[in-house]
Amino acid sequence: GSTHTLAEIEKDAAGLGHINFISEHDGVVRRNQLLVEVDGKKLPSLGLNGAMMASGEKEVVAGAYDIKLGKRNIPVDANDFMWINYTGPPGRYPSYSFTDIVHGRVNPAQLKGKVLFVGATALGVYDMRVTPFSGNTPGVEVHATIADNILTGRFIRRTGLEAMFDIALIIALGLLAFYLTKRLGFYAAFPAAILISTAYVWLSR
C-alpha cells in the first residue's frame, strides 16, 4: 500500500510526486525510482515531477531503459531507477526561509521562473539523507538534484559496458594483490593490499 497526503491538498495540487528514497547496501542514496505504481497508475518521483512542471510537459513515456520527457531521454534501469549525479555537498542550491517568503521578506524576482521545492532542513525532522558527499543532506536537496539532472541532461549512465569494466577492474586488483603477495611476501604485501582496497572503495563512492 501507499500513504497519501491530505485529500484536500491532493485535490487541488497541480501534480503529485512520490518522495521515496531507497538507500544502497551502505546506506548511501545513489539512485531514485522515477516511476512507481500507485493505485494502478505510474506516479513520478517528486524530482521528476518538478522537471515536468519546469519543462511544461504533462506526460512521460516509459521505455525499457529510458523515460522520455518531451525531447529528453532519461536513462534508467529496468525498474525505472535513475542514478543521481550529485552536484556537490549540501548548499549547492539557493535556499529561502518559508516564513520569509510568506511574510514578503524575499524579493519575488529571486523566485520567478524557478523550480521551488519546499521541505524541512532541520536535523530534528529526520528528512536527512546520506549522499556520496555528506551524511546529512536535506532530502529536499536530493529531489532538487534529480530535477536538475533531468533538466540539464547531466546523467550518470551505467550500461552493461560499465558493469563489465567494474568486473574487469575487480579481477585486475585481485591479480595485483596476488602478485604482490607472491613477490613481496604476506607481511610486506598486506599493507599494499589494504591500500588498493581502500582506493577502490573511495573511487566507487
* CB 142 within 8 Å of CB 29: yes
**pLDDT tens by residue, the chain, 205 residues:** 677 887 888 888 888 899 999 999 999 999 999 999 988 889 999 999 999 999 999 999 999 889 999 999 999 998 999 999 999 999 999 999 999 999 999 999 999 999 999 998 887 778 999 999 999 999 999 999 999 999 999 999 876 666 777 788 888 888 888 888 888 877 777 888 788 778 777 766 5
Q: Which of 150, 53, 148, 31 is nearest to 93 (CA)?
A: 148
Q: Return the C-alpha cell found at 204.
A: 566507487
Q: Which residues pair with 43 in a beta bridge?
A: 36
| Total count of residues recorded for the chain | 205
Task: Compute the chain's Rg from CA coordinates.
Answer: 21
What is the SS3 assignment for 86-117?
CCCCCCCCCCCCHHHHHCCCCCHHHCCCCCCC
* CB 43 within 8 Å of CB 35: yes
